[in-house]
């Protein structure tokens, strides 16, 4: 290899390294700026809400001297920008104050309740993905047929009908009438004190410990709320899968594959869906993030002890530390999943590597 070729190779390697460093730097800047914006929004919302955090702690009948002293101790007498700086440092350290409702540090409460939300959203996303992707593919292949119309109507209903109404209807039908599912909650009181969770994910913990009676009970509790969230996820995933597949089926490589005599099954599932799977990863990731942040009503209807129910109860009791802390955690997870899905898209799609 000549010296000129070696120098050209070194320049190409240096260019790739700089491109990777630049991409990582942009990723970090976007993540930091988005998180800073989230903290700013939650901080100022907490200041404009007509709830005095001092009175929420002390009560309405506290002496004025005690109220003023507590206000100074909480730093609420400082200029707003200084309050935000203190709030920012505390949030970056994972400190969101103490919950008025539980008297525990907010992060302690969130670590206790968040696994329940993750488990519920994970099962819901699995249901939505396993059913939504094949339905979207079928609707695209049978475009304009009765099957396509049914899939589109199913998706439209999933978007349009309030999820709390479906939850109440599901409880009346599957719990009260048919008794196929368990009472609202996460686990029956019979097992609540005999079962010791390790990870906080009851399905996983009960299976790992071989307590299959507990596993069945947990499954009977989670299946209905997870199915409702899965239906909401299915509506989004099936619609996007249909759109991606229609785009792929109109490409020239599909015409060439049919001209070569490949079977329709191989063309659809082996070629078109494989190419559509790249943007579909982003769709599924965003759907999962949406279930994590949007399960408040579902958890309320089904008395599911997750972060959504925790925020709802805290809001009803004017516990703003818990409300803002839970909001920041959910927003942070959503931002993280969003950025991660974008990164996966760039890694999986070879076309983005040239950009």
Give per-residue pLDDT as tens, 177-188. Answer: 888 888 888 999
C-alpha radius of gyration, the chain, whole number: 25
Please check whether residue 274 lies inside any domain of the structure.
Answer: yes
Range with top average pLDDT, 31-40, 213-222, 308-317: 213-222
Residues 313 and 338 in one domain: yes
Please check whether residue 135 lies inside any domain of the structure.
Answer: yes
Residues 213 and 311 in one domain: yes
∠280-286-290 over CA atoms, to 5°? 140
Mean pLDDT of 161-169: 85
- List, as one string, the DSSP characters of 188-237: -HHHHTT---SSS-HHHHHHHTT-HHHHHHHHHHHHHHHHHHHHHHHHHH
CA distance 139 to 153: 11
Phi-psi region of 59 (alpha: psi -120 to 50; beta: other; left: phi over 0): left
Mean pLDDT of 207-214: 91
Mean pLDDT of 305-316: 86
Question: 299 with 306: CB under 8 angstroms?
Answer: yes
Mean pLDDT of 244-252: 87
Of the residues 52, 68, 92, which one is the last residue of a structural domain?
Answer: 92
CA distance 129 to 9: 44
More confident position, 150 or 51: 150
The domain total for the chain is 2
DSSP state of 268: I
- The predicted pLDDT at position 120 comes to 93
CA distance 355 to 353: 6
- pTM, two decimal places: 0.82
- The predicted pLDDT at position 354 comes to 47
Return the CATH number at 311.
1.10.3720.10
Range with top average pLDDT, 28-42, 123-137, 282-296: 123-137
DSSP state of 183: P
Mean pLDDT of 226-245: 91
Question: pLDDT tens digit string along 99-158?
Answer: 877 888 889 999 999 999 999 999 999 999 999 999 999 999 888 889 889 988 888 888
How remote is the C-alpha of 265 from its chain's centroid?
33
User: Closest by alpha carbon to 122, among 16, 209, 196, 204?
Assistant: 204
Least confident of 50-59, 64-73, 89-98, 221-230: 50-59
Residues 117 and 64 in one domain: no
Residues 311 and 192 in one domain: yes
∠50-55-56 over CA atoms, to 5°? 80
């Amino acid at each position: 290899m000549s010296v000129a070729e070696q120098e050209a190779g070194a320049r190409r390697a240096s260019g790739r390294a700089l491109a990777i460093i630049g991409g990582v730097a942009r990723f970090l800047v976007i993540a930091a700026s988005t998180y800073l914006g989230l903290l700013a929004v939650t901080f100022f919302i907490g200041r404009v809400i007509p709830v005095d955090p001092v009175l929420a702690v002390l009560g309405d009948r506290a002496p004025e001297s005690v109220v003023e002293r507590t206000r100074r101790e909480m730093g609420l007498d400082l200029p707003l920008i200084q309050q935000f700086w203190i709030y920012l440092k505390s949030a970056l350290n994972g400190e969101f104050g103490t919950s008025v409702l539980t008297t525990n540090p907010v992060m302690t409460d969130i670590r206790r309740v968040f696994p329940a939300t993750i488990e519920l959203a994970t099962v819901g996303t699995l249901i939505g993905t396993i059913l939504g992707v094949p339905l979207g593919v079928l609707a695209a292949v049978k475009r304009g047929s009765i099957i396509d119309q049914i899939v589109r109507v199913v998706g439209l209903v999933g978007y349009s009908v309030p999820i709390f109404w479906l939850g109440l209807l599901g409880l009346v039908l599957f719990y009260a009438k048919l008794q196929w599912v368990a009472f609202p909650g996460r686990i029956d009181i019979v097992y609540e004190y005999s079962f010791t969770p390790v990870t906080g994910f009851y399905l996983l913990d009960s299976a790992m410990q071989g307590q299959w009676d507990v596993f069945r009970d947990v499954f009977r509790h989670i299946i209905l709320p997870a199915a409702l969230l899965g239906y909401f996820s299915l509506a989004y995933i099936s619609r996007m899968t249909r759109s991606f597949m229609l785009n792929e089926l109109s490409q020239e490589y599909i015409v060439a594959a049919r001209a070569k005599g490949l079977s329709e099954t191989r063309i659809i599932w082996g070629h078109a869906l494989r190419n559509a799977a790249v943007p579909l990863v982003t769709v599924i990731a965003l759907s999962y993030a949406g279930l994590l942040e949007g399960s408040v009503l579902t958890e309320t209807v089904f008395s599911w002890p997750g972060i959504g129910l925790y925020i709802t109860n805290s809001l009803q009791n004017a516990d703003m530390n818990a409300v803002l802390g839970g909001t920041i955690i959910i927003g942070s997870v959503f931002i993280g999943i969003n950025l991660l899905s974008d990164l996966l898209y760039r890694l999986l799609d070879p076309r983005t590597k040239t950009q």
